[in-house]
Structure formats: structure tokens, C-alpha cells
Amino acid sequence: MHSLASMKALFALSLSLLATTAALGQNTTPGTTDSTAAATPAAAPVANRLTVYGFVDGYYGYDFTGKSQTRPGFLYSHSRANEFALNNAIIGLRYQDEQVRGALGLHAGTYVEANYAAEPPVLRHVYEAYAGFRPLPKTWLDLGIFSSHIGFESAISKDNWTLTRSFMAENSPYYEAGARFTYEADPKLTLTALALNGWQNLRDNNRAKALGTQIQWKPTDKLLVNSSTFYGNEQPTDSVRRRRYFHNFYVTYTATNRLNLALVFDVGKQERAARGSKADTWHTGAAFVRYKLTEKWAATARYEYYYADRGVIIRSIMPAASDANFHVHGGSLNFDYAPTANVLVRVEGRVLRSRDAQFTDEAGQPTKTYGNLTSSIALSF
């Protein structure tokens, strides 16, 4: 729990962000991502290089399995059940010109409560905070806190094809802290190298640093291919080293102006404490089919699975020899309605099935099946 003083400070900082923007005469415009924000001509006024962005995602989740108001521990987004809740509210500023860029954003909600629980209280409400410049033509060097280079999905639900996140998104980094070097080789190819505090760590848990890479290739307007990697030791300083190797791969394809397809696959290995023993492996995959029904309506179907030796990563970063394997698969169906360009209304049904009894039913007994229904209204600017 945060102190009243810290919450007041966060509120005051949010007000100051908005006040600064108003003072510069900036009109409210949709926020843009780092990879797509266009450079502003050097002669443009400072106000035209500065954008304010915001996002609010309110939801109601209903679980058909069990009586808990908290969803299974491996789900972090829309994590509350049988209550009205705020998943994520974000307010921030971004600046970019031809040579310099940076961002500062704050957030709060049940996503932050669940996913940032291990972070220092003073940093939990920082959504992004980085500064960068162009050391060479076609390059950027950023330092600070920024969104993860891993994965098809992000922390902002409106940008995802489904309302809830897949297993792989929930159990791989949403955010990172470190240094990021990006080379825009040409309009079709972007290369990124990163040195990080760790696997979704704002504050490092040991003296070792992690490394990451990303290749994004768009050979045509319809096809995007992504390959992201991670390497690092993610154990506390006083624990035995267990190096982690990870690769994320996804492909998206625009089949028609109404039909979009995506395939995602992750695989990782982490060393066990006993040297010379077999590493713990996890792999997970998902397939998405999105169809635009009308100008304002769309639907997405998803199938996914997740397998982890001894529940590594999804249940523990230090699994014991006696821990059971984790094997769950499931599907979801999502309907979207966009009454305006910056409002999205969503309803999603989801069913999961485990090989072993991973869930808890209404009587408090283990069960192999879990189902939920989630609805959301999201506003962005």
C-alpha cells in the first residue's frame, strides 16, 4: 500500500504535466509509439513537438469458476473478478524532434497493483520515463524505463486484438529499464539492441545485466515478422546463478481489408540450481484471427497453450525439483464496438483447460476447467 503522501505527490505530478502542456498551447492529439512517431521539422515550435496522451480502461470481470475476487495468479491484466474495476489509467507527455526524444508517463490500476507488486513503491506508478538522442543518422539511443521489446501484445488493451492478454504476454516482460539502441536500416527493417536491469525489473535484483535484441521486418504492407531475444541471470544476488535464454517470434498478416491473422510462439530455457542437470524449458503459442464485421464492429478468436517444466516462470523463477509441470490451453472470443475513433467497447469470453487440476471451483476444490467473461470501456487521447 502506498502512503497518502506518495499518492498526493503522484497526483500533483500528473496535474503539473497537464498544466505544462496547456501552457505550451498544445492541442490534445493521440499518442504515438516510439517506433512510429514521425520526426518533427526542426523549425517547428516546441509545442508542436510535444504531445500529451492518455488512456483509461474500466472493466467488469465475471468468473464462472470459483468464488475468489482475484483471478488465477498468472493473469495480471483485468485481474479482478466479480467487481467493477480500473485496469489501467495512463497520463503522460512525449517529446520528439529530429535529434532528441523522450517521454514521461504515470499509471495506476489493478494491472499496476498486480504486475508491479515486486517493484519499489516509488517506481510502481511510472509507466515510462526515458530520454534519447540520435548518436548517428538513422539511430536512436534511449535510457530509462520503456515498453518491452518482447511480444505481440502490450499493456494498453486498445492496441491488442483481444481484451485480455494471452499466457505468453502475461508471463513475459511488459516493461523494461535500461539502455536501448535502435537502428532504422530502412523503412522495412528495424534493428534494436538492449542492455537491461533484467526480466521486467525496474530495479536490478543482482549485479549482472541482461541483454536483448529485436528484429522487425516488414517486407510488404501486409506482412510483419518479429524476432526478439533475451539473455540474463534473473536470480537474486544471494542465490545460485540460473541463466535464462528466451526467444519470442510472431508474424502478422493482413489477408484482406477485413481479415487479419497472427501467429505467436515463445520458447525459453533456464538453468537449474544443480550444475550439469537438464535446464527447465517452457514454450507457448497462440493463433489469432481478427475480422472486421462493419466499420464499427470487429471480432477476434484466439487459441493458446502454455507448457512449463516444473512451472518455471509462470509459477516460480526458482522451481523446486518436486514441482509439477504446468500445461494449460484454451480459447477466447472477443467482440469490439468502436462508437468513435477514441472509444472502444469490448466483451470477451474465455475458457481454459489444464492437464492437471490447476484451478479452484466454487466448493474450494481443484478443477481442470476455468471460464470467465470480461467487459470493458476504454478511452484514449
Other CB atoms closer than 10 Å to residue 210's CB: what's the count? 24
Tell me how many domains the chain contains: 1
Residue 374: predicted pLDDT: 98
How far apart CA 62 and CA 72 sit, in angstroms, is 13
What pLDDT, on the 0 to 100 scale, is given for residue 152? 97
Which one has a higher pLDDT value, 49 or 38?
49
Neighbours of 298 (CB within 10 A): 20
Count other Cβ atoms within 10 Å, centred on residue 207.
7
Q: pLDDT at position 44, please?
A: 52
Contact between 111 and 376 (Cβ < 8 Å): no
Percent of the chain with pLDDT over 90: 77
Residue 2 confidence (pLDDT) above 50: no
**Cβ proximity of 190 and 164 under 8 Å:** no
CB 40 within 8 A of CB 97: yes
Residues composing the chain? 381
Domain that holds residue 20: 4-380
The 10 Å Cβ neighbour count of residue 328 is 23
Per DSSP, the residues of 15-60 read: HHHHHHHHHTTPPP-----TTTPPPPPTTS-HHHHEEEEEEEEEEE
- Mean pLDDT lowest for which of 49-58, 157-166, 199-208, 369-378? 199-208
| Segment 102-114 mean pLDDT | 98
| Average of per-residue pLDDT across 150-156 | 97
Q: What is the pTM of this model?
A: 0.85
Residue 37 sits in a domain of what CATH number? Answer: 2.40.160.10
Average pLDDT of the residues in 105-117: 97
**Phi, psi (degrees; rounded to nearest 5) at 309:** -60, 125
Does pLDDT of 37 surpass 50? no
Task: Calculate mean pLDDT across residues 183-203.
Answer: 96
**Position with higher pLDDT, 64 vs 45:** 64
pLDDT value at residue 66: 86
Averaged pLDDT for residues 53-71: 94
Q: What is the pLDDT averaged over residues 199-225?
A: 95
The pLDDT of residue 47 is: 63
Q: What is the pLDDT of residue 42?
A: 47
